[in-house]
Amino acid sequence: MRFWAPAAIAYVVLLSAPAHAEVTPVDLQIAARALGFMERPLSGNVRLGIVFDPADQRSAGDATAIAKLLGDGVTAGNLVFKPVLMDINQAMTAPIDAFFLPVGIKDHGMKISKATASRKLPCITLNIGQVQDGNCVLGIQVLPKIEIYLSRAAAEGSDITFVPVFRMMVTEF
Amino acid sequence: MPMHRTVARFRSLGSVAPVRRVALAAAILGSLAGPQATAQDIDYQALEQLFGEPVTSSATGKPQRASNVPANMEIITQDDIRRSGATSIPDALQFVTGVDVQRYGIADAEVGIRGYNQPYNPRLLVLVNGRQVYSDDYGHVSWPTIPVQLAEIRQIEVIKGPNSALYGFNAVGGVINIVTYDPLHDRVNSATLQGGTQNYLGGSVVGSGRIGDNAGVRVSAGGIQARDFGSGTLSSSDASNRDLSPQIGNFNIDARARVAPGVEAFAEASMGDSRYAEKNFSGTFETVSARTNSLRAGVNADTGIGLLSLSAYRNEQLIAVTDTTLNGLPAWVSENVYVVQASDLVKLGSDHTVRVGLEYRNNAATAPGFLHGSIGYEVYAASLMWDWAIAPGLELTNAVRVDDLHLSYAGTPAAGSGFTVGDYNHAGFAVPSFNSGLVFAATDKDTLRLIVARGVQVPSLVDFGIQGSAGQYGPLVVAGNPDIHPSTVDNVELDYDRAMPSIGSTLRTALFAQRTQDIISEPFAVPPVVGPSGLPLFLAGNVGSSDAVGVEIGLKGHSDSGYRWNASYAFVATTNDTVLNQGAVDTSPIDYAHSAPRHVVTAGIGYTRDKVELDLMGRWQSSYLDFQATGPSIVLEPVEIRNYVTLNARVGYRLTENLTLALTAQQFNTSRLLQAAGPPVDRRFLASATAHF
């Protein structure tokens, strides 16, 4: 892949969700189904930590809007995502089962990366660049065609493995 | 004479010394591996829900979304099948872009892809979950004997063009891979009863269930009886050979169990008993009684070195032919084929997926009348598939396969043919095939697919070993040809797909060019030579070449308000360069330049609201040329099948949560229609009740 890195980066930049991209329940349903292909899949109620930066009012607003959109939860397969607002500074301790990295959280990828690796928790985002940088395990794109991106480094760091058939169907970085 | 040249070339391939064969095999085993469509080893439903489109693993062994497959594949889903009102698999195929269905009776149809259709079409590979269901005797498909009920089909994958390296030999015109529901992951329980015109009565039952948490079983059974279409203008000989009361019955059981973490075992068994009239390879009609059965077992294991698969199956069939022109000849063929397949599919790093595979095949056909004994062959095959994700949106797949075939014969060659048993037992060849597919997602809406492939069609057992001594068919000698060699089909293709989310549609286009070399013909069609006995010798052989170019354009979509639509146009122009039909009379139904319509337009519209489903489908095709017998001889006459329109419609109504009623009209626009050089096809009306439980 390294020989194609410039093209790959350009391609991913084109595909990356814009900063103002809005999360929809469908994004989370796709994410939930994707997590069903983990070797040790999550199931039941899963507390989804929606990350925000308290120093950035817009970030807090985005996270609140996403949590409101998800309401009591989003169900897909055997899993129900229960939204929980999570301060980026509490990434190491907040009582959650998975991270959701909104597009607006651009400068805290490393913090999340360390937290997911330390806590062995999956991270989901619509910002494919965060996946390519190895900060987040799963990237979801729904329109115009569903695409799933997987960071091998982030997955290995978090001790998360996916079944082989899933890995063969997604784009791995 | 072309025959001599081809034989000489064949010998250069077929005379590989045993030692070299072993070395070749060892080299292949050491470095290559083979893909074949695998059994169900993925949870299709979960993956389809995730990606929002059909998923297949048949092309490369690895699971892929239909839009990412490095071949031209169209998928007919269970919903498509139900809404079509089809009562058979050819019914469901006739509205697929680039597929040609020639109907020779209520149970008999020939299916061709991108032209090249003919009676007993040997250019099509048909699989059920990766198990071959075509017969090696003539290399053709008896659709009624496929032991699958329509209700248990998850999807029918139509792969166009040569795909031998991906699917196995005989995948030259294309592949039809029928994928059934997985007994471990899918629950399908239904019973259907159908009745209609032509005294049609059909029924099927499909049941599935779990055994504990880690095993599942699916059982199906079904059958039909009907009054076949009248013989129309067929010769008296053909008409008398047609039994007009087809009866078809099939049973199947599939079981799958998770025997250890990451390890699944499966077993399948089927049997069938059918009797129906059909048009045979020589262009004349007969009635066949077919008893078939199959057994298959295997295991798939997710290991540290990849996904390992091992499976073995046996197909067995006994065919009895009723044909008054055979003058009391013992008219039966028993046939079996054993196949063992092993493969390893592994993802290397983030960008490379490799599949290596090996296959062993052993088949034999026994017929005292037609073959004067038994003929069969062993094939050792190895193949390698390499899928390279060059960059996001750019993927290259290469596959290569080598088949090493060894013929064997036990019997008495036709007197006067000049062949000995040793000639047959020393025959064989090694033949490679390949597929390359570059898939480029140019934008998030546009996908380009460049495909280059060579497919291989192996001669059928009858081509290798049919025997007819002087007097058996008249003052002539008929012989299979141990020196016949495979036909090859080269294909170059450029596809362009465009997603049109604004209108909920997808546009698919294809532009292709093909060259078929060393076309294989059955012996009766080939100009005879003077045999060693001084009598005319009819010898199966390689008879020439053919080129084809074509274009396909299709649009398919649906709306949230319940509408769905599709429209397509397919064009194929084919040339002939053969030694067939050059004499005073025609003897071969092979005339590729004219034997399939050049232009085909299909269109369909449907609507679903609450409890009602409405569908209307139409197909127009231009004229083409077919052949029919003039009498009880091998002399054929061309029959122009004029361009025609056929319209089908279905109305379904969900009476209760568990019971659906449907009315289907097939060819409702005209009462009788000549669709091929056979009996005119009658308009049909069918009513059905389906219970889901």
Positive/negative CA dihedral, A39, A44, A47, A48: positive
Determine whether B316 is exposed, middle or buried from the number of CB atoms within 10 Å of its CB (0-12, 13-18, 19+): middle
CB-based contact (8 Å) between B52 and chain A? Answer: yes
> What's residue B326's pLDDT?
73
Fill in the DSSP letter of residue B304: T
Q: Average pLDDT over chain A, rounded to whole? A: 81
**What mean pLDDT comes out for the span A81-107?**
84
> What's residue A67's pLDDT?
86
CB contact under 8 A, B47 and A165: yes
**What mean pLDDT comes out for the span B603-608?**
97
CB-based contact (8 Å) between B304 and chain A? Answer: no
CB-based contact (8 Å) between B62 and chain A? Answer: yes
Residue of A nearest to B354 (CA): A168
Q: Tokens at residue B305, please?
A: 């070195």
Facing A171 at nearest CB: one of B347, B392, B444: B392
CB contact under 8 A, A77 and B46: yes
DSSP of B72-126: EEEEEEHHHHHHHT-SSHHHHHTTSTTEEEEE-SSS-EEEEESS---TT-TTEEE
Q: Using N-to-C axis directions, what is the helix angle for A25-35 and A57-70, rounded to 10°?
A: 80
Contact A137, A156 (CB under 8 A): no
CA distance B523 to chain A (A): 47
Q: What does the alpha-carbon distance between residue B244 and residue B200 come to, in Å, rounded to a whole number?
A: 12
State the residue for tokens 């497959």.
B69
Contact B151, B442 (CB under 8 A): no
If one counts every other C-beta atom within 10 angstroms of the C-beta of residue B385, the result is 28
Facing B46 at nearest CB: one of A36, A164, A172: A36
Establish whether this prediction's ipTM goes over 0.85. Answer: no
Cα angle value B337/B343/B347 (rounded, 5°): 155
CB contact under 8 A, A11 and B392: yes
**What mean pLDDT comes out for the span B492-509?**
94
pLDDT band, residue B446 (cuts 50/70/90): very high
**Residues near A54 by beta carbon (within 8 Å), at least 6 away in sequence:** A60, A87, A88, A89
> What's residue B426's pLDDT?
94
Give B504-533 pLDDT, tens digit per residue.
999 999 999 999 999 999 888 888 889 888
State the residue for tokens 């259709």.
B117
Collapsing DSSP to helix, strand or coil, B546 comes out as: strand
Give B10-33 pLDDT, tens digit per residue.
233 233 343 344 343 333 333 333
Residue of B nearest to A153 (CA): B350
DSSP H helices in B252-297: none
Q: Which amino acid is at B244?
A: L
CB contact under 8 A, B302 and A164: yes
First to last CA, chain B: 64
Facing A168 at nearest CB: one of B62, B390, B394: B62
Q: What does the alpha-carbon distance between residue B333 and residue B349 come to, in Å, rounded to a whole number?
A: 51
CB contact under 8 A, A1 and B351: yes
Q: Which of A4, A148, A168 to mutate to test the interface with B (most CBs of B within 10 A)?
A: A168
Give B672-682 pLDDT, tens digit per residue.
999 999 999 99
Q: What does the alpha-carbon distance between residue B459 and residue B182 come to, in Å, rounded to a whole number?
A: 34
Residue of B nearest to A11 (CA): B392
Long-range contacts of A64-72 (CB under 8 A, 24+ apart): A65/A22, A66/A23, A66/A100, A66/A102, A69/A23, A69/A24, A69/A25, A70/A25, A70/A28
> What's residue A16's pLDDT?
44
State the residue for tokens 């607002």.
A85
B 364-383 residues inside an 8 A Cβ radius of A: none
Residue of B nearest to A152 (CA): B350
- Is residue B357 over pLDDT 90? yes
Q: What does the alpha-carbon distance between residue A121 and residue A96 come to, in Å, rounded to a whole number?
A: 9
CA distance B44 to chain A (A): 11
Chain A residues with CB-CB distance to B under 8 A? Answer: 1, 4, 7-8, 11-12, 15, 30, 33-34, 36-37, 77, 143-146, 148, 152, 163-169, 171-173
Fill in the DSSP letter of residue B46: H
Q: Are strands A98-101 and A44-52 parallel, antiparallel or unpaired?
A: parallel
**What mean pLDDT comes out for the span B157-173?**
91
Global pTM reads 0.88
More confidently predicted of B632 and B179? B179
